Amino acid sequence: MTKILKIGLAGLGTVGAGVVRLLRDNAELIRARAGRPIEIVAVSARDRSRARGISLSGLKWCSDPLELAADPAVDVVVELIGGANGPARALVEAALDAGKPVVTANKALLAEHGAALASHAEVQHASLRFEAAVAGGIPVIKALREGLAANRIISVAGILNGTCNYILSRMQSEKLDFASVLTDAQQHGYAESDPSLDIDGIDAAHKLALLAAIAFGQVVDFAGVHVEGIRRISQLDIGFADALGYRIKLLGIARETKIGIETRVHPAMVPLKSPLAHVNGVFNAVVAEADHCGSLFLQGRGAGAGPTASAVVADLIDVAQGRDVPVFGAPIASLGARPSATMDKHRGSYYLRLMVVDQPGVIADVAAVLRDHDISLESMLQQGRSPSEAVPVVLVTHDTQEAFMRAALVELAMLDSVVEPPTLIRIEPS
């Protein structure tokens, strides 16, 4: 009989329980595709008594996850604890020390310690796989690292956080404000009680750092990612985006420039003709541009028990078959370390919304500030007239440098006629 691949699983939350369920439900199919059975033999979690909707009968329970790394009955360690440090990092390092393959969904761990862990895996000749760390069930890691291995990647961009996409989609379709949609998302389990990692863009930045490392053959550089979230997006901006032919999405964008690797996460105006404009709800999507095969568009559920467990088990099947590739697509010694392109050097067009006192001379004052910073306008929108309260004025610029826009924003905010901090959203080409 073909030898069983025995799994030690740390973390029995939504995804961990999903992995147990998937391995049992599709056991025969997985066995056929892996060439041998894959079975969980030991588990570890904080609360043994918690109801998870799965039976743990017959499985060894480890109160300390590090026991999984030391257990001779465990062939592969699956880490689903989460967090960049603490037990998750200790377990992955211990498993690699023991020469055991590791499968993880932990984007924070890899974004912050990916280079060290990849080097560790190489020294120990142990596989480290993380398809589930980015975009749930979408096989984007495999697509970039293996499917496009012969191509030079030009850019990678995508919707990498389902919580933010759900909030922005409902704001657009139902004309709701940010706060009310966030509260509803928390009540339905689409957002955490503390949603900061999602709505402030950190979760998407972790994922983008990993995609950029693979796409451009670079050491992971999370510190080089420019990060903005969606807290300041208002229903007013959603409406103006509609009028201008855009949708607002939180995007992660990575591309190679003459001055370095540009990696940025921020709200963006996406043209309606772009496929990303029509990715709604909790779905994720990634667009990769490659020199010989052109544009590749991948879309699917970016989180949840089923999609993420699917990616974890796909990695386990690769381990079972003995497939191994360098963690980030090339040996760690051959990865580059090009500098990050700082955001002030970014060039593009911008949406700028000002809330102004409706009086003569306001537009002239605004235009003078933009002129002094070498910023030219493509169009202007003003809706409503009111001598007693502020009215919105929306300006769309031609391509300019981020540093010029930032300097202009400081001066615009100081104008007596501008009564709120200006809102700036970058416009992405289709």
Please check whether residue 137 is in contact with residue 283, taking contact to mean a CB–CB distance below 8 angstroms: no
Query: For residues 215 and 413, what is the distance between their CA atoms, to the nearest angstrom?
Result: 39
Query: Phi and psi for 399 in degrees, rounded to 5?
Result: -55, 135
Please check whether residue 421 is in contact with residue 415, taking contact to mean a CB–CB distance below 8 angstroms: no
- The set of catalytic residues is 207
Q: Which residue has the tokens 């055991």?
A: 100
Query: For residues 35 and 52, what is the distance between their CA atoms, to the nearest angstrom?
Result: 29
What's the one-letter identity of residue 38? I
Conformational region of residue 263, where left means phi above 0, alpha means psi within -120 to 50, and beta covers everything else: beta
**Is 188 buried (19+), middle (13-18) or exposed (0-12) by CB count in 10 A?**
exposed
Q: Two tokens at 218?
A: 């670079």
Please check whether residue 74 is in contact with residue 43, taking contact to mean a CB–CB distance below 8 angstroms: no
**CB count in 10 Å sphere of residue 276:** 22
What's the one-letter identity of residue 269? M
**Is 149 buried (19+), middle (13-18) or exposed (0-12) by CB count in 10 A?**
exposed
Q: Two tokens at 428?
A: 């992405």
Contacts of 280 (CB under 8 A, 6+ apart): 165, 169, 173
Strands (E), 134-274: 153-159, 226-227, 246-257, 260-271
Please check whether residue 16 is in contact with residue 84, taking contact to mean a CB–CB distance below 8 angstroms: no
Query: For residues 285 and 287, what is the distance between their CA atoms, to the nearest angstrom?
Result: 7
Q: How do beta strands 423-427 and 347-356 pair?
A: antiparallel
Conformational region of residue 416, where left means phi above 0, alpha means psi within -120 to 50, and beta covers everything else: alpha
